[in-house]
Amino acid sequence: MAASNFERMMEIIDGVFDTRDDPDQLQVTQQDIARLQSLHPSTLAEYNEGKGPCAWILTIPTTTTIMKQFLSGEISENKILQLTQPGTKFEAVYLCSATVLPEYRNKGLATKMTMEAIDAMKAENPITDLFVWPFTKEGEALAQKIADKAGLPLHIRKH
């Protein structure tokens, strides 16, 4: 039996990010999802044509102080979410992840979804910076494309 879209998405996430073996990365538990939604309703987005997810994006609005702590290696990805408080005026957006099934890639879905999330956050917050911890060259290129479209500087954490 063929794997469902959800199962295929999880395989991609496990293959690229290996989150299960890295306690510093966000695991995206139900508790994390609730916390993300308390920060801003646009933190998570899914593209679904009725047969399960084809694309997911996850962004985290936060402060430039927390961004700088993360970029310097002082705090982990998990800590971004733990330290960011709902109701804060956010200045930075962490481009956490974009996952797209192979047959949906190169159609602009991740860019469109991420720009919609950033625009929604910018409508309520003085967003001045984007940051990313890329796991693939494609992820870094996507983050740069999004930063260029958003007209915001991109800060990159190196492995």
Q: What is the pLDDT of residue 51?
A: 85
Candidates 1.10.150.530, 3.40.630.30, 3.40.1800.10, 3.40.50.720; CATH matching 5-156: 3.40.630.30
d(CA 112, CA 55): 11
Q: What is the pLDDT of residue 28?
A: 75
In a 3-state reduction of DSSP, which class is residue 53? Answer: strand
By the 8 A CB rule, do 67 and 92 touch?
yes
Q: What is the pLDDT of residue 19?
A: 60
Residues of the chain with pLDDT under 70: 1-2, 16-25, 159
For residue 15, give the H/E element and its range: helix 5-17
> Is 0.75 topped by the overall pTM?
yes
Q: What is the pLDDT of residue 6?
A: 75
